[in-house]
């Protein structure tokens, strides 16, 4: 389990996170304030990226009624760190590959407040508040 000191050290290691606009990486902390580490700067032993179970669930959930036999794989692109005061305004992710169709967001189970992820599509809105979910848990699942 990560300590507060571990998380502070991780945040201090990060560089400011950019975002994509018209095929360029842009740094504008009035639009996005966060830290990032590129894959060459960290390692992780959490590997859902090669899990056939994860790919199956994504395929069945996201491609329902379409080509459910289509091959799907998750590729680790970078680690984004959102600490106190960090944010990312509403946006549509910039595809990093021709065949990219979405972003997989992984939230590590560290206690925190705020930082809800809000998804909007075709006039509907869904909110995923990991801080509230983690606070309501009494033991790991």
- Angle, alpha carbons 78-84-90 (nearest 5°): 60
Q: Whole-model pTM?
A: 0.76
pLDDT at 140: 56
Q: How confident is the model at residue 89 (pLDDT cuts 50, 70, 90)?
A: very high
For residue 36, count CB atoms less than 10 angstroms from its CB and return exposed for 0-12, middle for 13-18, buried for 19 or more: middle
Count Cβ atoms below 10 Å from residue 79 Cβ, excluding itself: 19
Q: Which of 103, 129, 107 is nearest to 116 (CA)?
A: 129
pLDDT at 53: 79
pLDDT at 48: 62
Q: Which of 6, 8, 7, 29 is nearest to 17 (CA)?
A: 29
Q: In degrees to the nearest 10, what's the CA dihedral of 21, 74, 38, 130?
A: 80
Percent of the chain with pLDDT over 90: 40
Question: Is a pLDDT exceeding 70 seen at residue 47?
Answer: no
Q: How confident is the model at residue 45 (pLDDT cuts 50, 70, 90)?
A: confident
């Amino acid at each position: 389990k990560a300590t507060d000191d571990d998380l502070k050290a991780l945040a201090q290691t990060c560089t400011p996170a950019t975002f994509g606009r018209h095929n360029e990486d842009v740094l504008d902390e009035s639009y996005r304030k966060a830290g990032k580490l590129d894959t060459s700067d960290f390692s992780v032993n959490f590997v859902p990226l090669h899990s056939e179970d994860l790919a199956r669930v994504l395929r069945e959930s996201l491609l329902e009624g379409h080509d459910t036999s289509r091959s799907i794989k998750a590729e680790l692109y970078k680690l984004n760190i959102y600490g106190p005061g960090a944010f990312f305004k509403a946006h549509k992710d910039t595809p990093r590959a021709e065949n990219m169709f979405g972003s997989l967001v992984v939230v590590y189970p560290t206690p925190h407040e705020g930082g809800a992820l809000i998804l909007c599509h075709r006039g509907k809105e869904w909110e995923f508040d990991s801080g509230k979910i983690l606070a309501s848990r009494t033991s790991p699942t």
